[in-house]
Structure 1
């Protein structure tokens, strides 16, 4: 049976780069450390490390074991941290995901600040996740709540998605593009333009929505030679490699060489939704409902110019 101690010892050896330095840091004899690793290798039936007098090297099996072992130790450390947090009288940590197209504007930051004041025992751990994968991450326990750009294609029986707010779409172009000279345009007028973001066949979100709007005008977005579904698409646009239809709030993340054109189309907007577990814990459920209540209060200013 592999012990947690062997996981720690193995990771420490790899991080330290030698048995001797790891033994010093762990305050154990080098011979005892070597014995533990030998027992570990016997248990997994694979050679994990090779070494000479100066350094160690990971075998392919060792590389795999190191990556998984570090992930396990990080998960254990996070579990202990959250348990300690709860044990000290706080309620816990909520892991909040947001897609790269859901910009955390000052207005959204203000909403989160108000909620944290309402829930003094809650801390937020905020990170990015794609709109299509957030439901899976939440369902499998890697996150608690998510802010997504609708639509999402996959349905999950244990996940609820609630609409929070609508946001107008705009066209992002390079300042060097001929389009930059005009303040507005239409989706139909973009038929011959190259788009730096096109949809993945298995993913929803912003690029899927944009493709649907283009298809309604009789064309599918033509792919640029450089593509991105992340905020880095704005850098591609600045380099005049193509255009994109994006939420208006992405102005806040745009480099100086990007211009934005208003869309004249009647339904050129998108919806941001909140993803949460159907059977959420009391803390997560209460925070999620408070977030919905705050977000749907009109008007939600997405950015200072809204």
Structure 2
């Protein structure tokens, strides 16, 4: 039976151009190398090499066999490298979710670029999903980890969260809005304003925070007649169809025709967390560990 060792020896002889050099590279005796080649040709019932005291030449059968063997060894080496990378968590596709209010800012771009350099065998599949939906998808294996706005109301035993950072909340208004000349605003002053988002007291993430902040001041946000999700709602604000309370980072994707007012309440902030499965596979676990090292302020809770 033909062995992988014989295939490697045969390819090495051809590449080296002689039995002597091949034996030196393989650290075996030339006589042992010659014996292996005789056994290989005997098993194949074909002459692969024509040789004299100084040179070797491939027969037609040998040329065909060499080309196939070379490809087999290259594929095998690639498979070994990939298996090693998978075992260390360095190979494959990672599915990432992020809330529409967690913009992929320059900070996240720098982190992901550094990780893609560190994990050359990893590719990313990034899409948006509300915080609550992220937890469900991660728990059920449809995603690997998420960048979510806390709180996540529904708890999953296998889903963990690590806080990444706090972010201030601001009021976004059109430059034509009556509040556009103000430097800051109290939430209570928004009682009669119309919100282009749809706050929901039973849904987590930013929507829950906004509803909770407003209810602390004795009112539930009035919903504007034109509403939209976090990123596209900026267009509605710009058109002066309503206002919204949003994370400060969303200023990066807004136009110059909008105005942002800091909220006077000290607790008007939002927490961004990384969420993932407790039993994440090695590749994902390694990637997450590297991600958190690049986010040194992350803390578990």
1:96 and 2:96 equivalent?
Answer: yes
- Structure 2 equivalent of residue 231 of structure 1: 231
SS in 1 for 2:155: coil
Q: Take 1:296 and 1:87, find their aligned partners in 2: how far apart are those partners?
A: 30
- Structure 1 equivalent of residue 216 of structure 2: 216
Alignment map for 1:88-167 (pairs within 5 Å): 91-167=91-167
Count of aligned pairs: 215
Tell me by how many angstroms 1:285 deviates: 1.0
Alignment map for 1:66-77 (pairs within 5 Å): none
Query: Does the CA-based 8 Å contact 2:145-2:274 persist in structure 1?
Result: yes
Query: Does the CA-based 8 Å contact 1:165-1:296 persist in structure 2?
Result: no
Give the number of the structure whose alpha-carbon radius of gyration is greater.
Answer: 2
- Structure 2 equivalent of residue 58 of structure 1: none
Tell me by how many angstroms 1:223 deviates: 1.1
- Structure 2 equivalent of residue 34 of structure 1: none
SS in 2 for 1:275: strand
- Structure 2 equivalent of residue 168 of structure 1: 168
Alignment map for 1:151-300 (pairs within 5 Å): 151-200=151-200, 202-297=202-297
Query: Does the CA-based 8 Å contact 2:199-2:221 persist in structure 1?
Result: no
SS in 2 for 1:178: coil
- Structure 1 equivalent of residue 21 of structure 2: none
Tell me by how many angstroms 1:88 deviates: 10
Q: Take 2:234 and 2:121, find their aligned partners in 1: how far apart are those partners?
A: 38
Tell me by how many angstroms 1:104 deviates: 0.6
Against the structure 1 CA distance between its residues 210 and 239, is the aligned structure 2 distance closer, same or farther, given a 3 Å change threshold? same
Question: How far does the alpha carbon of each residue in 1:235-279 deviate from its partner, in whole angstroms, 9 at most, with x for none?
Answer: 111111110000001011113322111112111110001110110
SS in 2 for 1:229: coil
Tell me by how many angstroms 1:230 deviates: 2.8
Q: Which runs of 5+ in 1 are unaligned?
A: 1-82, 299-306
Tell me by how many angstroms 1:296 deviates: 3.4
Q: Take 2:277 and 2:110, find their aligned partners in 1: how far apart are those partners?
A: 24
Tell me by how many angstroms 1:199 deviates: 2.3
Q: Take 1:88 and 1:177, find their aligned partners in 2: how far apart are those partners?
A: 59
TM-score, with length taken from structure 1? 0.66
Question: How far does the alpha carbon of each residue in 1:18-37 deviate from its partner, in whole angstroms, 9 at most, with x for none?
Answer: xxxxxxxxxxxxxxxxxxxx
Query: Does the CA-based 8 Å contact 1:224-1:241 persist in structure 2?
Result: yes
Query: Does the CA-based 8 Å contact 1:149-1:272 persist in structure 2?
Result: yes
Query: Does the CA-based 8 Å contact 1:132-1:203 persist in structure 2?
Result: yes
SS in 2 for 1:184: coil
Tell me by how many angstroms 1:126 deviates: 1.1
**Displaced runs of 4+ in structure 1, greater than 6 A?**
none
Q: Take 1:278 and 1:246, find their aligned partners in 2: how far apart are those partners?
A: 30
